[in-house]
Each structure stands twice: as structure tokens, then as C-alpha cells.
Amino acid sequence: MIRQIRGKVVGAGPTSVIVEVAGFGIEVKTATPEAFPLGSEATLATHLAVKQDGLELYGFAGAAERDFFELLTSVSGVGPKTALGILKRSSPDALRGAIGKRDLDYLTKVAGIGKKSAEKMLVELSEKVGPSVHDGADGEVFDTLVALGYTERDARKALQAVPQEITSRDARLKAALSARA
């Protein structure tokens, strides 16, 4: 498995860059070819996709972006090209937040996928993105629920049941506690 590539960027297209490594020009598909200017030295975290008709190398600015790409491709029906398209339209952090909040509208509008694919993504990834999707008041509420004996899964479910209109930490905690009762 090729996990990283480093070399001089000698070509670029709308969805890829060509990196020269030891005299070889290697095409690397990327969501952000503009991040790798011609003539620059670049290091890309990579994912090698083995297909029936050949190999494709996908490149990312860092390992975290690559890891999220691989998480997306773990969803049945989401291949490397679709995952790359999703990352072209939205950051991994924004996608994690949308998945954690089960925000179907965000995924269908920003990620550019259909409703069925977005629903499948929510079902298959909501458990995998973990508690890091909760920020601010939700992070504190999540931690409090876990400290009170909730499993992480139950705490996430309780937070998801709280209406977004409730914004204060104390009110969100109270609503999450009553959601389980």
C-alpha cells in the first residue's frame, strides 16, 4: 500500500496533480490540486485504490484528511471518486459535525449526494465519528451524560433528540436527560 508520496509537482489538472518521484511522473487524484503549485516540492498522504481496470492513487494534504476519505469509502455505495467529490465541497470537520448531528440537509446540499446516499452515510458513520462531533455546550453535555453513566452511544442519541432551538448548556442537558426517561 502506498501511504505517502513526496516529489516535485510537474503537472496539474482539474482533479489531479502529477508528482515526479525518482524520474517517474505519478498521477495523484486530489480534491485540492490548487494546494500543490507547479514546481513545488509536495508531500501527499495517499490512498491506493485497486480497481478492476487498474490502480488509482488519491492524495491529500495530510493523514487526517486521508483517514476521513477512507472512512467515507467504507460506506457501501460510496467509492473513491464520490468520496473525493464530497471532500472537494466540504471539510472533514464540517462533515463530521453534520454526521454527528445527523444533518441530512447539509449532506445532500453541500456534499452533493442524494438523499438515500446521505441517509446511508448517517447510519453507517454516526457511530464511527465519535464524540468529537460535539462542540461547545454539546461537548459538555455529552461529557456530563457519560459521567452520569450513559454509554457514548446513548449519550449521542440523547443529544440528537434535543431540538436545536434549545441553545443553553443547562437546558440541553435537562432535555437530554428527559429524552432518555
150: which residues sit within 8 A by CB, 6+ positions away?
Answer: 158, 180
- The DSSP string of 27-84 is EEE-S-GGGS-TT-EEEEEEEEEEETTEEEEEEESSHHHHHHHHHHHTSTT--HHHHH
* CATH number of the domain bearing residue 47: 2.40.50.140
* CATH number of the domain bearing residue 106: 1.10.150.20
**pTM of structure:** 0.70
The reported pLDDT for the residue numbered 132 is: 46
Identify the domain containing residue 158 by its residue range: 134-180
Say whether both 30 and 50 belong to one domain: yes
| Whether residue 134 has pLDDT greater than 90 | no
- For the chain, the average pLDDT equals 86
Say whether both 15 and 56 belong to one domain: yes
The reported pLDDT for the residue numbered 148 is: 85
Number of domains composing the chain: 3
The reported pLDDT for the residue numbered 136 is: 58
7: which residues sit within 8 A by CB, 6+ positions away?
Answer: 19, 20, 21, 22, 26, 41, 42
Answer with the one of 125, 149, 169 that is the final residue of a domain. 125
